[in-house]
Each structure stands twice: as C-alpha cells, then as structure tokens.
Amino acid sequence: MVEAKQGNGMVNSPSESSISSINSNSSTGKLIRDLSEERKQLEEHKEDDMSKSESTHTLTLPKKKPIKFTVRKVSHESIKVHKTSEPKFEKEAVETAETKKQREQLKAAQLKYDHYSSRIAKIEKEIGFLARLLPPFNVEVDYVTRNKIGRSIEKLRMKQDELDKKKYGLGITISRLWRDNSDTEIWVRSVSN
C-alpha cells in the first residue's frame, strides 16, 4: 500500500501492484462483476418495492413495552372502619325498617293483584260456558231460561269490568311502591316547583 499525505492525516490508497493483481486474476474479476450486477438488481428491486409501499402506505408501529407489575401478599388483618361511616349504617338500619313496611305492602298488593287476575280468568271461563248454552238453534233451552242466562252473562261481564278496574288501580299502586322501594334511578320522577 502506498500512503499519501493529505492535510492533517494520512490516507491509505491501494497500490498499483494490488490493482494489477485484481485485473490479472480472472476468477476474482468475475466474482467482483457478478457481485456488482447482483447489487444493481437488488437496488432495482428495492426501488420497485419502495414505489409499491408508497402506494399502499403501510405504517409500522413501535412495539409496546410489557407492563411490569408486582404481586403483593394479601394481609389477613381485619378491615378498620372509620368513625365517620358509622352514622351512615344507623340511617340505613332505620331506612330498612321503613322499607320493610313498604315491601310488606308491595307483597300484599301483588298477592291481591294475582287474586284479581285469577277471579277474572274464572269469570271469563263461566261466561264462555254460559255462552255455549245459548246457541241460536238450541231447542232444549226455553225462552225464560235464555233470558236468565243472558242476564247472568251480562252481570258477569259487569263484575269482570269492575275487577279489571280494581286490578288496573292496584297495578298503578304496585308500580309506585316499586318505584319508591327501588334504589336505582331508572324511574322517571316528577318535579314540582
């Protein structure tokens, strides 16, 4: 190697003998030419890939770091209750006595509602039975009996309507009791000024 001085430092450059040895060795020259051709082909492929990737706009996201956590030993000590929270429990105990009464009222109202429903169903069955006795061409039933059956059907329908009204009113009462007894705010409350 021949050293040439340039400015502040020394620069190494290949000697003439090393250049001539590269040219003289044919296998080495072929290898260098083949490598340079492969390099050109790779650069062309990279340029093609770059143009394709620019059209698709793929974005590589940085990898997330794993979350580190520590496992701590669970203590078996009792939980300490602060004095500020004790009056809250007393208020809840008083409220439960009031809500217990409301729940009993609700239960009684629901039982009564079910009783009305069963009575209405029985009346409906009886009306159906009596209506089957009155076919238009039934000769076995005389005129007086037909009138009695017609009046009894009418009375049963009036009783059924009366029970329907009571059942409806009781349903409103039940919904109000549910609303007052419920802890959630799913009910719409009226606001009076």
Task: Please report whether residue 76 resides in a domain.
Answer: no
Higher-confidence residue of 130 and 68: namely: 130
Those residues whose C-beta lies under 8 Å from the C-beta of residue 47, and which sit 6 or more positions away, are none
pTM of the predicted structure, to 2 decimals: 0.45
Which range has the worst mean pLDDT, 24-28, 90-94, 104-108, 125-129? 90-94
Look up tokens 């143009």; give the residue: 51
- Percentage of residues of the chain with pLDDT beyond 90: 23
Amino acid at 92: E
Residue 116 · residue 167 · CB < 8 Å:
yes
pLDDT for res 1: 46
Domain that holds residue 115: 100-181
pLDDT for res 156: 95
Domain total of the chain = 1
Local confidence band at 166 (pLDDT 50, 70, 90 cut-offs): very high
Higher-confidence residue of 181 and 17: namely: 181
Task: Please report whether residue 109 resides in a domain.
Answer: yes
pLDDT for res 45: 76
- Report the helix count and the strand count for the chain, using DSSP H and E: 4, 2
Tens-place pLDDT, residues 99-122:
788 888 888 999 999 999 999 999
Higher-confidence residue of 2 and 146: namely: 146
Task: Please report whether residue 189 resides in a domain.
Answer: no
Task: Please report whether residue 156 resides in a domain.
Answer: yes
Using the predicted structure, report yes or no on whether residue 2 has a pLDDT greater than 50: no
Q: Is 97 exposed, middle or buried (0-12, 13-18, 19+ CB in 10 A)?
A: exposed
Task: Please report whether residue 132 resides in a domain.
Answer: yes
